Chain A
């Protein structure tokens, strides 16, 4: 483009700064886009310079991102089965525990995660009691790995061991599978670090009774298509992270006849159906496996700057990018801002935790807040009208709107999808994540719900590593 071109064509203007200039230009019919400029936060100059240098390769990156988006939006997740974790997750054998978030060892694990680890060890029979279990874990008698490394995800502590039942979601567009354990319900549960007798008894029932019945019902149903179900749930006020009332009910409605056909004993059938009906978060774990099944096909696309995972282990927050494959970019997790159940306060709270941020990674959760005004109050994020603001803000860091999953309050625009690390680092807008809040001590459970923010430092590191794959060094 030369100076001659400027004078020879109608000016089309990017207005950076005073909004009045953009209003004047738009009023005169001049094509104008307004940039709501903000001063760079001190210390971010290096990141901004890196972004500017990446601008030279923007065509290549944009093309790679288009491919990534295509894969993300083409996904066709189907819930097909429930199976024993050790049977489908290669390497998940004796003395191996999977946890949420990026890699972590016992020494750095937060309280609730230690509690869940001890509970799971007792559940598996690797130690007779919690005390012995703790000694085993602390004495490097077990191995820890992230769920994400095994094709799985788990909410909060996310502890998964070999004999637990996991749900299988198959992405039929690409043939890949992802797994997640069954949601245990509210209150004292292992995902919040609780580990007493009642918690372990429920896990045993899920393993021995509910899991097999659920799997049989799914097989008889020929699987459950999840994308239309999520679309339905969004119009019914779920955002699939802190609110799963509608989707859980839709699952129950779809599978009840199949449960009835597969479970001969009326009392057991009633128990199974009541378990789903009594757990408003039942769908969360299905949604997480769905999320993992959608994002896995994005891994390893050269020059693709899309985020493929956001996850927390209660100590570190981790981010993965398409172009950098299985590498984690980590920073200390932040405290969620939210509301506490009666009798609890922020002093009791554990920092942000769980693989469940996979929901936000695919455009649900806080990204879809506009469709779930009831959640805004639950997570203490302000007025119902503020819900729109969350979704709009996430628009600024994503590349597309998912046409399959639309939000009625935004005139049926799709949920913001495809987080671009360039946009997060460039705008400083931290992805918002709706989350439950665990007690900081092991064994207590959930004490509240709120909104957490993904630390910017993860995205800065990811951006630097991304630039390096393109031959640009910070």
Chain B
């Protein structure tokens, strides 16, 4: 089952009927990647989409084409056949260790939803994080059993999403997600979320990191969140047509704990945006809309529009725009983001400051680009599909961003480096530590690094400690992602044309 090619020896090993979750498999793949002589390693269940991924990266041996979704494919390429063989052995040991750890863990899992509901008959919500191609099935079953669902999985086909959400609406249930890994229900953070106090603000968000940033800014300003409903990254698209956004409006409007509502999204489809504005105007509670990068629109009474996440959370008045003294440098801003919505917010802030930006996930007005290089200010979303296909999200595994960070720190034309650091449940245990380690390697001539931390002191990683770690490494830590972007704008010589932006409103 091995084939020699230009890139060393490819070996695949198939384990029939073996399943481990993707996080466990990625962790093992990373450990394997560090084994002697291993050039590439991947462990995946043999679903069609995974086989395509493996084939794309030249890791699929012909014998593995017959693998099924209930098989595990161990694929690796090593310099020599002996090293490949040794790595396969290591993989078997790591898998056995992982299985043993799962077997001896305190909480024993149950085999299916039916048994789960016998174990916990009062269950009211299913949190679903199975591979995307199976997520809709699991979600539908949970809805059929009367559970609300939160789909953490991504890669759920949009047609399935629409069908599921219609079904949920017909049953009076919420179907949160997919592609938005955050929710806060009754003070309980689900999946990737932060520990924030309960309070009067209800959040509706089509963006995971957007919800995290707003809830953390509220928390650090002394406010609390009643509920944060993550409606899914595509909910305000034409196809999905705001199905869950409107359901969330209804739910929060009825919820006595919620006194005001903030809606967070990247720019929606125009037709859907119009409906959202109408719904917001009809709402019995005050509503702030933060549709990052959306063009200004005429707003009915009772609806306010916030330009940034920061403004949505704190209000325009609370934001200090006093320019800090910064020595402008020549060169370009290099933004490396783990949160897509934080990258979008930074683009909005920079453009409002008169800085033209490029991004792999451009908001309206920004230019598309592929990577953080070239003669332009570039803000890259490293959580975008092109970077996360077959590998962990940068919020879980900071390796990819650390490699990019080393590169932009070395580049002579980097004027400033802009980072987000997202902590909370689900996120890496110490993202600031990794950044600090890279900065210590970099010389004194490295460009300034500006960052913000999305999190609270109640999070497992502890906000203040993450900030301290960054500051000790020489990072300028701003109070919010928007403030960090403003600070970056001051680092570059920019025509000061945007000062009068507020006059538009």
Contacts and interface: CB of A to CB of B under 8 A. Distances in A.
Interface in B294-315: none
A39 B21 contact: no
B347 interface: no
A24 B172 CA distance: 28
Interface string B132-146: 001001101110111
B123 A12 contact: yes
Central interface residue in A8, A37, A396, by most chain B CB within 10 Å: A37
A19 B102 contact: yes
Contacts of B138: 16, 37
Contact of A16 (B107, B124, B128, B426): B128
B247 interface: yes
Given A16-B127, A16-B138, A39 B186 contact: no
A403 interface: no
A1 B124 CA distance: 8
A33 B140 CA distance: 18
B69 A11 contact: no
B284 interface: no
B116 interface: yes
Contact of B45 (A10, A11, A39): A39
A267 interface: no
B114 interface: yes
A5 B152 CA distance: 21
Nearest to B255: A7
Interface string A12-26: 111111111111111
B110 interface: yes
Interface in B42-97: 45, 47, 68-70
Given A21-B152, A39-B47, A55 B124 contact: no
Interface in A5-53: 5-26, 28, 30-42, 48, 51-52
B141 A52 contact: yes
Contacts of B116: 14, 16, 33, 35
A440 interface: no
Nearest to B181: A21
B188 A35 contact: no
Contacts of A31: 120, 122-123
B473 interface: no
B412 interface: no
Contacts of A55: 114, 141, 144-145
Contact of A48 (B128, B137, B153, B255): B137
Interface in B207-241: 226-227
A15 B105 CA distance: 16
B68 A42 contact: yes
B23 A16 contact: no
A389 B247 CA distance: 45
A9 to B, nearest CB: 6
A16 B129 CA distance: 6
A89 interface: no
A109 interface: no
B112 to A, nearest CB: 5
A396 B173 contact: no
B232 to A, nearest CB: 15
Interface string A100-125: 00000000000000000000000000
Contacts of A427: 111-112
B21 A19 contact: yes
Contacts of A23: 105, 107
B254 interface: yes
Given A6-B174, A55-B144, A36 B110 contact: yes
B280 interface: no
Given A3-B172, A24-B425, A11 B130 contact: no
A410 B233 CA distance: 46
B130 A17 contact: yes
* Contact residues of B: prevailing secondary structure: mixed
Contacts of B188: 10-11, 13, 25, 28, 30
Contacts of A2: 172-173
Contact of A10 (B69, B108, B186): B186
B126 A16 contact: yes
A39 B134 contact: yes
B483 to A, nearest CB: 29
B173 A3 contact: yes
A14 B113 contact: yes
A397 B114 CA distance: 11
A6 B126 CA distance: 11
B323 interface: no
A15 B125 CA distance: 9
Nearest to B138: A16
B338 to A, nearest CB: 18
A316 B446 CA distance: 74
Given A39-B45, A42-B68, A6 B23 contact: no
A203 B429 CA distance: 72
Contacts of A422: 114
Contacts of B120: 12, 14, 31-33
A13 B112 CA distance: 14
B377 interface: no
A243 interface: no
A392 B126 CA distance: 24
B252 interface: yes
A148 interface: no
B167 interface: no
B110 A52 contact: no
Given A17-B153, A52-B140, A8 B127 contact: no
Nearest to A45: B137
B147 A14 contact: yes
Interface in B162-195: 172-174, 185-186, 188-191
Contacts of A8: 255
Contacts of B186: 7, 9-11
Nearest to B128: A16
B158 to A, nearest CB: 21
A103 B190 CA distance: 54
A389 B103 CA distance: 9
B227 to A, nearest CB: 5
Contacts of B174: 3, 6
Contacts of A28: 188-189
A11 B111 contact: no
A140 interface: no
A14 B125 contact: yes
A91 B207 CA distance: 74
B183 to A, nearest CB: 9
Interface string A190-204: 000000000000000
Contacts of B190: 11, 13, 21, 25
Nearest to A10: B186
Contact of A35 (B19, B113, B125): B113
A23 B106 CA distance: 9
B176 to A, nearest CB: 10
Contacts of A39: 19, 45, 47, 69-70, 130-131, 134
A429 interface: yes
B173 A1 contact: yes
A246 B350 CA distance: 81
14 contacts: A1-B172, A3-B172, A6-B124, A11-B188, A13-B127, A14-B116, A17-B127, A20-B23, A22-B107, A31-B120, A33-B120, A35-B112, A37-B138, A41-B70
Given A14-B123, A16-B129, A19-B105, 11 more contacts: A1-B173, A2-B173, A3-B173, A10-B186, A11-B124, A19-B102, A38-B70, A40-B70, A40-B137, A41-B69, A58-B114
Interface of A: 1-26, 28, 30-42, 48, 51-52, 55-56, 58, 389, 392, 396-397, 422-423, 426-427, 429
The 5 closest A-B pairs by CB, nearest first: A17-B129, A36-B109, A39-B69, A427-B111, A34-B109
Interface of B: 19, 21-23, 45, 47, 68-70, 102-103, 105, 107-117, 119-120, 122-131, 134, 137-138, 140-142, 144-148, 152-153, 172-174, 185-186, 188-191, 226-227, 247, 250-252, 254-255, 257, 425-426
